[in-house]
Amino acid sequence: MPLGTLDRTPPPFFKQGPSALSKLMVFSALALFLMVADTRFQIAKPLRAVVATVLYPIQWVAMRPVQVARYGAEYFESLRSAQTAEAGARVKLALQSQRANQVEQLAQENERLRKLLELRGRISTPAQAAEVLYDAADPYSRKVIIDKGVAQGIEAGSPVIDESGVLGQVTRVYPLMSEVTLVTDRDQAIPVLNARTGARSVAYGDPTLHSGSLELRFMASNADVHEGDLLTTSGVDGVYPPGLPVAKVQKIERRADTAFARITCSPQALVDGARHVMVLSPISAQVPPRPAAEDPAAPAKKGGRK
């Protein structure tokens, strides 16, 4: 066969079609067109909705193990917290029931003694509720701000309590809010009474920064103080009503190199988490004024007729 009659074109199997560069340019232009069209006319929104609907069962099944593990851990953690809170509530309820029985017995005995001695009844202390807004900005003090002030009749020096005990004292009053210095502040002092022994003393805020405790100062090393003793307000300062829980003795250090013991107390009130409080009127505002001093007796007149 003559060579000139041979077909020099490649067979169809080896034909490559358009070049790779041409395909890249065409598909890039198509992708750019689709992105612009989707941005302006939302043409792919129905397609995305269909794809999301089709893939939702797969996603739901894939997320089940993760959610089961997460919710299972939260369930057991919540169950453990609930059981702990229930146990604490039962203990507190038992203690309160015991104290309520003792209080009722003591109240009846007190009423009989007052009737016997013809003493007047205990002064009732006016109070009003308030809410803690925020902590004071000074990091070197333990103070909070409440939402009651001069407009609501709050006075400087008013005691502040929560459901557990004495929280502090109003030290600065503004028109619509007040500043309360907590009992754990290093500059705060409160006269207390040991409910077990009846001994009086003074509890000071611990000077250690952010300690959250009180210190019973100037107590002799051999003083009758035990861990767990309840300290209440004595009422001798004319500010706090007597009998309000203040703190419990937490730790006693009796050292041989000093005549005084170092006694650390934990406050009864929620000094770090109080939200709603009661502001009491100072006792000094309810006690009748002291009678005026009588003039010295005039000297006897000389003189009668002989």
The string of DSSP letters for 35-99 reads HHHHHHH-TTHHHHHHHHHHHHHHHHHHHHHHHHHHHHHHHHHHHHHHHHHHHHHHHHHHHHHHH
Render pLDDT for 108-117 as a digit per residue (tens, 0 to 9).
777 766 665 5
Hey, which bits of the chain come out as E strands? 127-135, 143-146, 159-161, 166-173, 178-182, 189-194, 200-205, 214-220, 230-233, 245-253, 260-267, 276-280
As assigned by CATH, the class of the 127-285 domain is mainly beta
The residues, ordered by sequence, that sit 6+ positions from 270 with a Cβ below 8 Å of its Cβ are: 162, 164, 167
Region of poorest pLDDT, from 79-88, 89-98, 267-276, 288-297? 288-297
CA distances in angstroms from 192 to 150, 284, 288, listed in the order given? 29, 17, 23
Give the total residue count for the chain.
Answer: 306
Q: What is the pTM of this model?
A: 0.55
Sign of the four-CA dihedral 184, 188, 191, 197: positive
Report d(CA 225, CA 69) in Å as an integer. Answer: 52
What is the predicted pLDDT for the residue at 274? Answer: 83
In this prediction, what percent of the chain has a pLDDT beyond 70?
Answer: 82
CA distances in angstroms from 3 to 6, 7, 62, 302, listed in the order given? 6, 9, 68, 174
Render pLDDT for 115-146 as a digit per residue (tens, 0 to 9).
655 544 444 678 888 999 988 877 778 899 99
Q: What is the mean pLDDT of residues 47-71?
A: 83
* Residue showing tokens 């003591």: 106
Report d(CA 246, CA 214) in Å as an integer. Answer: 10
> What are the boundaries of each domain within the chain?
23-117, 127-285
